[in-house]
Structure 1
Amino acid sequence: MRTISEWRGVFTTAARIGFREFSTFYTWRAWVFGWFLRLVAQVIFFGSIGLLIQSPERIRYMVIGNAAAVVCIEALAVITCTVRERALGTLALQVAAPADYALTYLARGIYCLLAGVVSSTCVLFIAGWVFEIHLSFPGLLLVPALMLVTGSSAYALGIAIGAVVMRFPALQFLALNLAYLSLMTFCGVNVPVDYWPSPVSTTAEVLPLTHGLGALRAVLGSGSAADVLPALGWEIAVGGLWLLVGILLLKHAVTSERRRGTIELSA
């Protein structure tokens, strides 16, 4: 039986490896003036729709919604990690190691989540300044924490989807795009959840972002703890559900690949 310190050591080591990998993708200049600037432009674009219809309420609604979607976009990038691990031949090494490969996989992509929290928080502040949106000061202090909870739910969903696309590497970016576009469409980013037919809005209740975004809107508005805490609790529950599903799917996918003798295939 491994101790908590041993599990923590495995997790932090795998996370450090992931961050080192991330640093090979981006320099700080490339990240700020390339990817991050693109995210800012995306949120400002949607906020500009409110300008066209001359609705300050719509500007506020879409800026907050699309800023929260940013953390999901980045967290869902973990979908590509299973394919990359397999292509590099490192998935087989993780399975062969004495540590639980599900734990190392969860930690290896954690940079996606943390980068998303930073991006979404900064984008919200910048877009709020551009559109002169009043955001309550006490609520602003809770923005990073709410982005972390929301992003964690999306990260768990990404783990589940990544386990599925392990066998179909050509579909990884299609799965990623469909995942984040679905969250942006159905989870209250640009239109309320109840705008959609009942089956769709019901499905949105068990997707990441829906409840976390509700908590964020309440915190940045005039909502009370009675409005924020239930929504936050539901977001945590949804994230826990997807994490469980993701771990089970990952273990099933790895077991299936081992039975077929194909887990060591690499590009």
Structure 2
Amino acid sequence: MRTIVITGGTDGMGAALARHFLTTGDRVVVIGRSRAKFDGLLSALGDPSAADRAEFVAADLSLLADSRGVVAHLSARHEQIDALVLAASFIRSRRHATVEGHEASWALFFLSKYILVTGLAEQLRAAGRPVVVNTSVPGARADAIDFDDPELTQGFTFGKSNAQQRRANELLGILATRENPDLSYVTWGPARLVRSGLAGDVGAGMKFAAAILAPLLGQQPADAVRPLIDLIDDPAPGRAAYRGPKPVPLVESPRDEQDVIRLADLARADESGT
């Protein structure tokens, strides 16, 4: 029986993946903020055996303490993790500082992922064919990260924030696969809009677009994640990037090695509070 860990597994695409893998007989650990949504997901399945294979871990992954707590919990309970799906999302169009003092989007969309990927490396290494699926749309510019001000204390825009999170997660793949050559690390984004609720603190324009365009043009979460299921079921070692089922080129730069070191240094400093 495989162990599948899914952050953001109570809504949208994360919930669709949780439902699928519980239906196919896997053990599924859902990381999220709402126990009620998790219980509703299990109830809707109508399969008593699913509850025996499902686990919920409550966490706000914009808080580094919660992310570290998830790593400690999973490390104590699971010797092996076959798949780690990083799908937690909360979109912010404005800069917001957490109670820990970090910019919330940087903390949720990169720092938490760094903590989980590096902190669970031993459990992933124990799996025969481990895979990390990072739902961070690939293709950001190689120079997207402001290494002098990664939390964008000056000049924050949604576009800058989004681009540097995406680039950071691609660089995280270099670090992760270097440490574990058997690991499949996939950055992935849906091919088109998905009909799921827009969780976040966004402006009227983005809310309007989500409310109008997603129902008209979007695909159901269960349809959107079908390519992800294939990538989890048949992982290939190394890094890859996809939009929907279509592979896309990895963004590469002569500065990649230097940037990976700088990024890891930043992440470790944030973890230690220095």
Q: Same fold (TM over 0.5)?
A: no
TM-score (norm 2): 0.28
By relative contact order (CA 8 Å, sep 6+), the higher-ranking structure is 1
TM-score (norm 1): 0.29
Bigger CA radius of gyration: 1
